[in-house]
Copies of this chain bind each other. A is one copy, B any other.
């Protein structure tokens, strides 16, 4: 557990997600509660994309009394402080992930459901282009791709 925390800090350049979250909230005059600690811990460890129910379920394994309202309220706070990103991978459920490391985006394979990340280099270019051509200053980009991943393309006879 101690080791996990050290690894997490190394992965994100010396400051764990939990520590960043704690100081961001404390800095805004908010309180660091047991529930927020639990939820942040689950989100950080998930290393991926949780929807609200998964987050709720996992958090209750650590603290069975934690309520669904608290999950929603905490996600709202974390979104507001830009500590988590909300993804719209599917029509049905939103997914959330810790904002750690470089900006990236997601490809969802419609065949196997796998989510792959890709980096934001091309998206940076798009941002520049929007400023140059439209005078538009980008604040946030919501970009999700769906299609067929390499594995599924290879394993399926090309649909004619």
A97-136 vs B, Cβ < 8 Å mask (1 yes, 0 no): 0000000000101100000101000110110011001111
How many identical chains are in the complex? 2
What's the interface size class on A, roughly? Answer: 20 to 34
A24 in the interface (beta carbon within 8 A)? no
Complex contacts, A109 vs chain B, CB 8 Å: 136
Q: Pick the contact of A140 from B88, B126, B129, B145 — CB < 8 Å?
A: B145
Which residues of A are at the interface with B, using a C-beta cutoff of 8 A? 88, 107, 109-110, 116, 118, 122-123, 125-126, 129-130, 133-150, 153-154
**20 A-B residue pairings within 8 Å (CB atoms):** A88-B142, A107-B136, A116-B134, A118-B133, A122-B122, A123-B126, A126-B126, A134-B150, A135-B149, A135-B150, A136-B149, A137-B147, A137-B148, A137-B153, A139-B146, A140-B145, A141-B146, A142-B143, A142-B145, A143-B144
